[in-house]
Structure 1
Amino acid sequence: MTKTTFVNGTTVTADFLNAINNPSFDGTDFDGHFAKITNDDLSDAAGQIKPEWTTFRDTLKVSAGTGLTASYTGGAVTLPNGTIAAIAPGTIALTDNATNFLYINSSGTVTAATARPLLALLLAQITTVGGAISGAVVDLRPRFIVSPRQEAIRSFGGSGGEGDYTLSGTATFDQGEYYFQNFTIQAGATLTIAGGAHIYVARNCSIAGTINVSTAVNGGAGFGTNVPGTVGGLSGAGPGGGSGSGIGSAYNYVLARHGSGGGSGFCSLGSSSVGLVANGGRGGGGLIIECGGSISITGFINAKGGNGGDGTISSGSGSSSGGGGGSGGLVLLRSLTSITIFATATVDVRGGNGGNGNGTSARAGGGGGGGQVVLISPSNNTTGSTILLFSGTDGTETGTAVGGGSGGGFGGSGGQKGVILATSGQLILRSFIPVG
């Protein structure tokens, strides 16, 4: 019913008194209901609802300026290192005929870029056309975003704490792990990886030059001997290490992020003779690049296995077989967006060759198994590229009386001369849908 109109003699009812005792400001025409409250009705005094809400709403708010300029209000943010940065109000220039993203970077600076940042506090998205802002400013401040639990997602590609890395000459990485914003190997540059490296890249990775990954683990040891009879056949290091009596088996790259060494050869001497047990080839090293942005390869990545040593009879008589080749290594690339290995690029994880036999009747060493190339991203493209997964070849034998060392295994199994050939490695492609 509508509000009661009082005249002389109108009865004041319990319903009326209860209604005005519980007022409602909804603008309806009933007892106890009143006009809606507006901003003008609220207090502007500090600590009251109106100024508190307005301050929250307008903190770090971006608005259109004139021409190719945007304005933003001030505020405070917590940076990745835990410090609090005070952002003063200001303006920023935009790129014409593009979609611009305005954000606060990890250093606490308001920045505009045409690529959506991977490590930032997003503020707004603005489209520009013909020297002016086109359409409305899209508010991207992270207040009402549906996201997974924060602790459930690790920082893919790392924090980029070491900044950008660009190589135009030569360099060696021997410290294991690295954390870059962008990672660039320019054409003509050569980066050597000492055995293995895990490179985290927060943004994008471009390899136009060459990355050489040195071998990582030993083959069976070689040594000189003058002892009559047969010695040698020591196993190479790694899960798929070759030996003198069995092949080196293939295994999953999660088990070890590198290849395995080949087995050493055998040396069988007569009396008063001197010879050499041939060493097994070293197992290929491992390179892992994890990138929050795209990975683009137009150059070369080499992670080959080492060759087995040749048998040697220094004096007298006897037979000295060749050492087995080491397996190829690992190239593991992970990206949150895409991996492209272009037609000009080569990724080489071939196994090492077996060594030659020497003397009266010695087998050669077996070839090492091929390595593994693993690409993990939402979009993998290897069209036209050269990816070398071949096993190493057996050496040359002088006979069959003394067996040779077998090759190390990884992506493919190692070979044993006269028993089984080494096998090629693996190209593994994994696709996933990124979170968010």
Structure 2
Amino acid sequence: MALLFGIGYAGIIFEESLAFNKSGVGLLMAVSLWVIRSIGAPSTDIAVAELTHASAEVSEIVFFLLGAMTIVEIVDAHQGFKLVTDNITTRKPRSLLWVVGFVTFFLSSVLDNLTSTIVMVSLLRKLVPPSEYRKLLGAVVVIAANAGGAWTPIGDVTTTMLWIHGQISTLPTMTGLFVPSVVSLAVPLALMSFSSEVNGKGQNTDDVLASEQMAPRGQLVFAVGIGALVFVPIFKSLTGLPPYLGMLFGLGVLWILTDAIHYGESERQRLKVPQALSRIDTQGALFFLGILLSVSSLEAAGLLREIANYLDAHIPSSELIASAIGVVSAIIDNVPLVAAAMGMYDLSSYPQDSQFWQLVAFCAGTGGSMLVIGSAAGVALMGMEKVDFFWYLRKASGFAFAGYAAGIAAYLASQNLHFSPTIAANIPFISGS
């Protein structure tokens, strides 16, 4: 299975050279891996049960992705993002780099990194014409979305997992990981500011923006669309149900709203949800499905657990183990890696809000930025902007690694200086107790 995954992975990396679409390679790899798993399992029934469980988890993510992409497409069709782009007044490439980075960072702390990436890449299409500079801004979005999602319990699926299972809690996580997360973004931005794409010829975006006209009720659609995205974590908190249901609820509300707004206007069909569904990147969603199913087969076969056990046996330091999990998450999805770490260590080994669990949350969240296929945000960028593996490796991976290392150093420095979040949590007026 490891060999097949490696071959399939290589097919995805060399997509352009081989002229094979990565979505087809991903789906073929996923099915092949599960066939092998069914042969190697104690019984076919066990393999079917594992596949059913994996499919349920993967489907939640795919439904979430499709719902988010459709909402963003509807807002985009109404030119709703013009409300944001009009307020980003800078047109200087270096300034725009920092603005896009920190807008994404704080957006991702409230939304998940996947939704934030979809929103911000759609925004970039309104700000910057197709160019190397826009691709670099897309890479900034990936790095910023992963960094922003690492310091809040609802910002990334892995931090949410650790939060739900009790390894981390809200206030200590936010106070302990905010500065390292900012550092992990600020360092790449500072380094990128000196790159040729940023210091080259300035990007003229005025003509792009001037050509846009907001559709009827565009402001209302923008408000409801963004409200639907923000409502997702609130829905989960109120009901305890999976986030994708909150996303589908928001899509249903926006669907009814746009039908009502454009009732009887046949020339406005493109502004309605059915037309938007025909424009979203279903190819990217299928690629995401193939990758997640492939990884879940490796998890079911116990290969990921073997990797985790190997790390435990050969790496003496818990800080190095957490850092290694982040590096591996650039290659393999961080969700099963964090799940494996949670299975290896219980709260008796490392108590809630210990340095190990906070580092796992930070490293698994930000480590995926080092390769474009290392996170949901990167996969979304690949689909939306056609960024290939090697372009990202050349142009962004080094910056992302520098930010990753600097963020870990900032966290360890804060611990050594006794700026521990657990200490802050025990101070009554800070913890709220």
TM-score (norm 1): 0.20
Q: Which has the higher contact order (CA 8 A, sep 6+)?
A: 2
Structure holding more helix per residue? 2
Structure holding more strand per residue? 1
TM-score (norm 2): 0.20
